[in-house]
Structure 1
């Protein structure tokens, strides 16, 4: 994003200040005043960049997705195969668990609101699409993934599956290897070319 009158710099400063604030107060109890104080700016300045708490949280999630994508670049760029799709899915789950707000987001009192917020955000899915469309295009071109897939719907479905695994980590199995088997046999299998 180009810097115009410090807009991008201020937005990044707010996001950087928000992480420790949200970690400290949790996603349900942090206030915009807390973030403004931590960023050293007026609360009104935050509202020039974010419409409210949910918008700020979505921006934090998108920032995390961008960082996560950079961490996974080696796996994403590997030769397309069904096993690589499993690896991408599993590594995204692991990276999501490392997100500082992960535990707070999955609190049973918070998770349904987080799901609503994530799945109703156009910005969130623009970021998810930007990450997954190139993967799906490569895997389609290589003959691994079904060429008839609607990419936007597929990314939404993948995101839902990952959210479910994250919010219910032991329902199917508490064992990582078995989780990979479920991903391979059901999720990735649904994407494969026939």
Structure 2
């Protein structure tokens, strides 16, 4: 049994998340137990369970934290592209490259974790929610400026973007050639579906 130390509330949650992510990298997401996390954090299991009810909630908290940490930088990068088509294409590519570099995201979308990924990211709606947090304001602004078709459901578009990003994170090697091919597909098939008839 893990006895552990005492840590203040907010500090404990951050400590637990850091320990969990280290365990995910060391043991894999599916094989990491709450006991592993408690031991790595040097906290009691009771303290871990006080902050996170089960392993799935701990995984989800990690995904949400890591995603939101990047939102400001991603939004700034996307807004730097003056043309709407470029914002969409380069923004999605930015997310894909970041996702491939993030060990947690890369593990979650691997074939070994597909069942867990489906449950946590898709059935819960978290993947769409997080994508919409990033893209929603950008797409709404584009719609108001007449760059994006008025009849496009922005949340549904965020869902499509989430699906494209996760598919490509899981299926590509991340090479320059693969990213260029992905850009070509986005410009050929996604962008024309978004532009107004007179765009």
TM-score, with normalisation over the residues of structure 2?
0.83
Closer, same or farther: CA 6–134 of 1 in aligned 2, 3 Å: farther
CA contact under 8 A between 1:80 and 1:142: conserved in structure 2?
no
Q: Moved runs in structure 1, 4+ residues, more than 6 A?
A: none
Alignment of 1:27-106 (within 5 A): 27-78=29-80, 79-106=82-109
Residue 20 of structure 2 is matched in structure 1 by 18
Give 2:192's match in structure 1, choosing from 179, 182, 189. Answer: 189
CA contact under 8 A between 1:58 and 1:124: conserved in structure 2?
no
Specify every segment of 5 or more residues in structure 2 that has no aligned partner in the other structure, as ranges: 1-6
Q: Which structure has the bigger radius of gyration?
A: 2
Specify every segment of 5 or more residues in structure 1 that has no aligned partner in the other structure, as ranges: none
RMSD: 2.3
SS at match of 1:35: helix
Task: Report the count of equivalent residues.
Answer: 188
CA contact under 8 A between 1:62 and 1:124: conserved in structure 2?
no
Q: Distance in 1 between matches of 2:182 and 2:131?
A: 22
TM-score, with normalisation over the residues of structure 1?
0.85
Please say which of residues 94-103 and 22-31 is displaced more in the overlay: 94-103
Q: CA deviation at 1:114?
A: 0.8
Q: Distance in 1 between matches of 2:34 and 2:83?
A: 44
